[in-house]
Structure formats: structure tokens, C-alpha cells
Amino acid sequence: MKFATAFISAVLLMPASGYAKDYRLDYGVETPTDSDAGSTACPYGVCHVKVEKLNLTVIIFLSRDDPDHARIQIEGKPGCCFFELGAPSQRIVPGDPPPRLRFFTGVAPRGLLYFQNEPAGNLYLRFHLD
């Protein structure tokens, strides 16, 4: 009985130790009025990074199964934040050098209508996946 308990415990613990639970993320956000930077630990899946100073939240979708692709979204005050052509999210390849993502304020496209959105700032992300 003791052997069975030890074996089951070892099997249950093995998958958890085989994967990294999270990754490190360095971020920088610059706007025409201010900027902020920092570093945080993020879980695989969905990570919310609050940039209190700029009243923004950066949302990163990164799967452990596909660490070569991430989807980025930014939330802030009403009318913010969009990427090129009014896209609500941006797909990136985490790598070196970190990509510069321009984000905008304005409105999302509707049907065939695209609006001229105003530049709001730049977002820089560096992923440490090891």
C-alpha cells in the first residue's frame, strides 16, 4: 500500500515539475505625456499587466504549447487602445529585439469604414521564456 501511494504521488507531481509555471516580461510604455517601464512574472495563458501610472492594462495571450506567437491587447480610458488599422489586438513573435507596437486612440472600424485614429504611444515587450 505504501508503494502504491508513493507511486501515485510521484506520477501526479511529475507533470507539474516538467513545465515552467510562468515567464518574465519586461515592458515599457511611452505616451506623449509620460512613460513607464517595469518587469513582472506572467503565467502562461492570459497575463494582465497594469500600468497604474498611465491608467493602462496590457493583456498578453501566450500559450505554453506555442511560445513563438503571442497576442497583445491594451485597455485604457474610453476610445483607447487600438493598433494599426483599428485592430483591437496585435499578434507578435516574442523575440530579440523586442517589437515596438504603436497604439492609437479613436474608434474601431465598422464594416468597410476605417477611421483615422490618433497616435497614443508605443509599447515595448521583452519576453524571457527560459
pTM: 0.78
Average pLDDT, rounded, for the chain: 82
Exposure of 76 in the CB half-sphere (CA atoms within 13 A)? 22
In whole angstroms, give the CA distance from residue 92 to residue 77. 24
Rounded Cα gap, residues 101 and 95, in angstroms: 13
- Dist. CA 4–CA 10, nearest whole Å: 10
Report whether pLDDT(11) > 70: no
39-50 pLDDT per residue, tens:
999 999 999 999
- Over residues 49-81, the pLDDT tens digits come to 999 999 999 999 999 999 999 999 999 988 899
Instruction: Give the per-residue pLDDT at 107.
Output: 79
Among candidate residues 62, 88, 85, 66, the one with its CA nearest the CA of residue 75: 88
| Residue type at position 95 | G
